[in-house]
Amino acid sequence: MKKMFIAVIMVLLLVSFNSPSVKANDNQVSISVLKIDRVSYSENGNNFYVYSVNDTDGGFWVMEFAPLKGETLKQFEKRVKGRYLIVKYIGEPQYDDGIDIIGQYIW
């Protein structure tokens, strides 16, 4: 009985140490919701940029949005002022190259 118990423990240890492990958050979708701080306009790309306020770590999001037909920067700013920027992503936001953005929304 004692030998059987030791054999079972050995098998469990070997299986647990040899099994591949994957970080749980590698494919986990994360959501960041931050208030919009300011907006700017890029004449090169004819797009608006939305800047969020800083999060608890001091980081912030800058996201690009296409203007509505004929929309000016003042009109866009009025439309998004006081709203929230919602970013859905996979990866670690501490590294710019380490994330894949799934969606971006203004709410």
Residue 70 has pLDDT above 70, yes or no: yes
Classify strands 99-106 and 29-42 as parallel, antiparallel or unpaired. unpaired
Q: Which amino acid is at 46?
A: N
> Is 75 within 8 Å of 66 (Cβ atoms)?
no
What's the domain range around 72? 23-106
66 vs 46, 73, 84, 93, CA distance in Å? 7, 11, 17, 23
| Res. 5: pLDDT tops 70 | no
| 6: in domain | no
Binned at pLDDT 50, 70 and 90, residue 83 comes out as: very high
Q: What is the average per-residue pLDDT within 80-91?
A: 92
The 3-state DSSP class for residue 57 equals coil
**Does the pTM of the predicted model rise above 0.75?**
no
Q: Is residue 35 part of a domain?
A: yes
Decide if 79 is inside a domain: yes
For all residues of the chain together, what is the average pLDDT?
79
Q: Give the confidence band of 7 by pLDDT, cuts at 50, 70, 90.
A: low
Q: For residue 2, is it within any domain?
A: no
* CATH number, domain with residue 42: 2.40.50
